[in-house]
């Protein structure tokens, strides 16, 4: 339950998988601010307090939208300078939005338990 009258969350569907729902959220920005101030990021590899102290360290040059549950490690080695060098040599650069959701984290945890 979110104790904020500016946020509306309606559960539309519960899936058979553990803890998975489809919800409609109104006023996304307010919800993101609320979660950032009331919750804590869980990360099994990195101290989660670093996410709040150094948020840019958790973003790649590709990130434009907030929302992934995971560090964008696949693109973290790229800089704007490197991208320009790739373009200068004839390389093509495409941008996509990729969010890792709780389903990925749940399936990884189940895999670890079965090994």
Question: Would you state the torsion angle of the CA atoms of residues 56, 62, 66, 71, taken in this order, to the nearest 10 degrees?
Answer: -60
What confidence tens digit (pLDDT) does each residue in 48-92 have? 666 667 766 666 776 666 665 566 666 777 888 999 999 999 999
**Of the segments 43-47, 85-89, 94-98, which one has the largest average pLDDT value?**
85-89
Q: What is the pLDDT of residue 8?
A: 85
Contact 100, 68 (CB under 8 A): yes
pTM, two decimals, is 0.45
Contact 95, 60 (CB under 8 A): no
Helix (H, G, I), strand (E, B), or coil: what is residue 12?
strand
Buried/exposed code over 15-48 (b: 16+ C-beta within 10 A; e: otherwise) = eeeeeeeeeeeeeeeebeebeeeeeebebeeeee
Q: How confident is the model at residue 7 (pLDDT cuts 50, 70, 90)?
A: confident
């Amino acid at each position: 339950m979110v104790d904020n009258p500016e946020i509306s969350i309606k559960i539309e569907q519960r899936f058979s998988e553990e803890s998975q729902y489809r919800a409609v959220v109104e006023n996304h920005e307010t919800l993101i601010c609320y979660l950032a101030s009331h919750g804590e990021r869980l990360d099994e590899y990195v101290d989660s307090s670093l996410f709040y102290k150094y948020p840019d360290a958790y973003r790649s040059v590709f990130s434009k939208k907030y929302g992934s549950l995971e560090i964008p490690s696949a693109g973290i080695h790229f800089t704007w300078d490197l991208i320009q060098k790739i373009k200068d040599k004839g390389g093509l650069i495409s941008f996509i939005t990729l969010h890792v959701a709780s389903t990925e984290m749940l399936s990884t945890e189940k895999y670890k338990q079965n090994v």
